[in-house]
Structure 1
Amino acid sequence: MTEQASNGAAAQGEQNPQFSLQRIYVKDLSFEAPKSPEIFRQEWAPSLSLDLNTRQKALDGDFHEVVLTLSVTVKTGEEIAFIAEVQQAGIFLIRGLDAAAMSHTLGAFCPSILFPYARETLDSLVVRGSFPALMLAPVNFDALYAQELARMQQAGNAPAQA
């Protein structure tokens, strides 16, 4: 009876979803201040442009790499003060999810884990360039994921998902 219970638990354990963060790392980092030092002598009236992108790649077994890219361009007037970009990546072990749940996990949940690391890396990079800290606002990756799904469904590129 004990053997049957342990075999049943092992079989059930294989069916339970599993999620584990394996590693977080900076994949690429870039900073440019093309108008320095002149830009430091101008009045500071910044305008910020943020581009955000994610991509994922299946690795061996149930491991997946997710890369969150944040690209920031800050101008003061018409002059570019600086351009900063970080590719913050993570390796995640994910198993036992259906296709819709896997898509959501890779497209929204994993990027939301990576975002605070990317934000801190960008902030530190900008401060090292002698500019004021960025203090990027939090991002709702669930909403962005839902918008992207809707866009893809409208274009006929993705099946409807719950």
Structure 2
Amino acid sequence: MADDGNVISNLDLGGNGEDTAPAAGLISQYVKDLSVENPNAPDSFSWQDAPQVDIQFNIGARPINDEVHEIEMKIVVTAKAEAGTAYIVDLSYCALIGMRNIDDAQAHAFTYAEAPRIIFPFARRVLADAVRDAGFPPLMLEPIDFNGLYVQQLAGQAEGQPVGNA
């Protein structure tokens, strides 16, 4: 039992006191850049044909230090109708992730599959709000299987296919 007034007790389990357990997690997330263009407003609000929506994704990462990396999810949405461009939304949604005592293969998988899976719902909400705030119905993106895409990318690399064709 812990000493009076001390919630945490010393559980000496025979270790040397070093933290050697593998750990990975999200530290914070944020909008790094957001651009919303509505170039043909107010005319675009009266267009009758439904716009064709093109969505481009890119996941990037850069180290901040030995244990912290920034993950950047770049999403560009372009909606074009026969009469012209309805809207363009360009979002860079980022997260800081911490990883310690993880081998390179697991760190790579966490960086490019698990971290994007964690932050995608938040980026999806930012996009939906941005499109709605531009005067259009919110864009509701379907969930994405980032783990499946990651495995597909690795398989493609093993077969000599260029990266980015998942």
Q: Given the two structures, how large is their TM-score scaled by the length of structure 1?
A: 0.86
The answer for unaligned runs of 5 or more in structure 1 is none
The answer for unaligned runs of 5 or more in structure 2 is 1-11
Assess, with a 3 A threshold, how the Cα gap between structure 1 residues 133 and 8 changes in structure 2: closer, same or farther: same
Q: Could you list the per-position Cα deviations for residues 114-139 of structure 1 after superposition, in whole angstroms to 9, with x for gaps in the alignment? A: 11111000111111100011011001
- Following superposition of structure 1 onto structure 2, how do residues 1-162 of structure 1 map, counting pairs within 5 Å? 6=13, 8=15, 10-11=17-18, 13-14=19-20, 16-77=21-82, 79-155=84-160
Deviation at 1:152, TM superposition (A): 1.8
Secondary structure of 1:19's match? strand
Distance of 2:147 and 2:59 partners within structure 1: 13
Runs of 4+ in 1 over 4 A off after TM superposition: none
Aligned-residue RMSD, C-alpha: 2.1
More helix by share: 1
* Letter of the 1:127 counterpart: R
State the identity %. Answer: 31
* Bigger mean CA offset, 124-133 vs 16-25: 16-25
Secondary structure of 1:8's match? coil
Q: Given the two structures, how large is their TM-score scaled by the length of structure 2?
A: 0.84
Assess, with a 3 A threshold, how the Cα gap between structure 1 residues 157 and 82 changes in structure 2: closer, same or farther: closer
